[in-house]
Amino acid sequence: MQHGRYRFIVGFLVAPLALYAVFVIWPFIQAIYYSFTDWTGLSPDFKMVGFGNYTRMLKDDIFWKSLQHSVILVLVLPLVTLSLALFFAFMLNVGGRRRKNAAVSGVRGSGFYKIAYFFPQVLSIVIVALLFQFAYNPRSGMLNSALKGIGLGSVQPDWLGDPSLALICVMVVLVWSTVGFFVVLFSAGMASIPKDFYEAALLDGASRVTTFFKITVPLLWDTIQSGWVYMGILALGVEAFTAVQVMTVGPGGPDYSTSILPLYVYQTAFRDGQAGYATTIGVGLLIVTMAFAAVVMRLGRRERLEF
C-alpha cells in the first residue's frame, strides 16, 4: 500500500525530477568536484589538490568574517522583516477601530498603504540599491541633509563609509525593499482566517495585542514559516549579494565590514582567478544554508490548528 503510493507520486514526478537532476543536482556535484582542484576559471587545465582549498579556507580571516556577516543577515533579516510585515498586515486587516458596522477591519486608508508597502517590490534590487546609495551620500545625501535640516549639522555620519554602520545600512535597505511583499502575503493569509474568530474574541473583550498573538499568529503559522524560508534565501543569496555589491563598492565595505559569502565567492572566482577555491567557499555557503534550513524546519514544527 505504502509502496504503491510512492510509486504513484514518483510516477508523476519523473520528468521534473529528471530536469532537477540534470540542472540542479549535477552542477552541484560538479561544483563539489571543482572544490578539490586548483582550477583558475580562465583555462581548461587544472589538477587535483586534495583538501588544500579546505585547509586554506579554515585559515582565511576574510572567509570567517564573511561567514559571520552572512549568519547575521540570515538571523536578523527574517526576524525584522517578518515582524514588521506581520505588524503592518495585522493593522491593515484587523487592527482598525470598529466602523461601518464591520466587526473586523483595517485602519483608515489601508487600501492605500497596501499599495505603498508593495511599491518597492516592483523595483529591481539594483535600482533600490543605487537610489539608497544616493541617500547615504555623506555630502549631499538625503539623510545627512535631513540631519542638517533639523539642526544636527554636527552629526554627519559617513554611513556606507563607516565600518560600524555599513552593514546596518545594507540591512535597512533589504528590509525596506522586501517588507511589502510579506505584507501582501500575510494579508492574503489573514483574509482566509474566519471572521467569527475575531468577532468572538472581541465579544470576549480581547485586546488587539491578545488577538494578534492568540489568533492571527497561530493561524498564520504555515505562511510565516514559508516566509521565513523565502527570506532566508534572499539573505543568503542573490538579493543580499546585489545590495552589497552595488552599495558598498570598495568592495565589501570599508575594512571588509559588509563582506558576505556570495560576494566572496564572486570575487574569488571572477576577480582573483581562483575558481577552484571559490567553489570551496561555495561549499561553505552550502553548509550554512543547509544548517539554516534544518533549523527552520525543526523549530517551525508545530501542532496544526484545524479550522
Partner 1 sequence: MGSTSAHKNEGLGRRDVIKRSAALGLITVPTMSFLSACASGDSGSDETVKKGKTSAKNPLGVNETAALDVVIFDGGFGEQYAIDAEKKYTAAFPKAKVKHTATQKIQSQLQPRFNGGTPPDLIDNSGAEQMDMGVLVGKKQLLDLTPLMDAPSIDDPSKKVRDTLRPGVLEMGQFEGDPVWIMYYAYTVYGVWYSQTGLEKLDAEYPENWDDMLALCAKAKKQGIAGWTYAGKYPYYLPFSLYPFIAKIGGREVLDKIDNLEPNAWKDPAVKAAFEAYYELYKKGYILQGTPGLTHIQSQTEWTKGKALFIPNGSWVENEAAPTTPKDFKMMVAAPSGLDSSDKMPFGTIWASGGEPFVVPAKAKNPQGGMEQLRIMLSEESSKNFTQQVKSLSAFNGGTDGLTLSTAMQAGVDALKKAGDNVVNPRLQDWYVKLQKEQIGTAGLGEMMAGRLTPTEAIKKIQGFADAAAKDQSIKHYKHQ
Cα 142 from Cα 148, distance rounded (Å): 10
Q: Supply the minimum distance, in Å, between the C-beta of residue 123 and partner 1.
A: 21
Q: Supply the minimum distance, in Å, between the C-beta of residue 43 and partner 1.
A: 4
Inter-residue contact 160 to 248 (CB < 8 Å) = yes
Nearer to partner 1, 218 or 251 (CB): 251
Q: Supply the minimum distance, in Å, between the C-beta of residue 265 and partner 1.
A: 5
Q: Supply the minimum distance, in Å, between the C-beta of residue 9 and partner 1.
A: 7
- Identify which of 182, 193, 234 has the alpha carbon closest to the alpha carbon of residue 217: 193
Inter-residue contact 112 to 209 (CB < 8 Å) = no
Residue with cell 510512492: 6
Inter-residue contact 158 to 165 (CB < 8 Å) = yes
Nearer to partner 1, 96 or 232 (CB): 232
Nearer to partner 1, 89 or 275 (CB): 275
**Bridge partners, 48 (sequence order):** 37
Cα 295 from Cα 251, distance rounded (Å): 31
Q: Supply the minimum distance, in Å, between the C-beta of residue 132 and partner 1.
A: 12
Q: Cα 226–227–229 angle (5° rounding)?
A: 65
* Residues contacting residue 95 through CB under 8 Å, at least 6 positions apart: 106, 107, 208
Phi, psi (rounded to 5 degrees) for 59: -100, 5
Q: Supply the minimum distance, in Å, between the C-beta of residue 108 and partner 1.
A: 28
Nearer to partner 1, 39 or 88 (CB): 39
* Residues contacting residue 204 through CB under 8 Å, at least 6 positions apart: none
Nearer to partner 1, 6 or 149 (CB): 6
Nearer to partner 1, 116 or 238 (CB): 238
- The amino acid that residue 256 corresponds to is Y
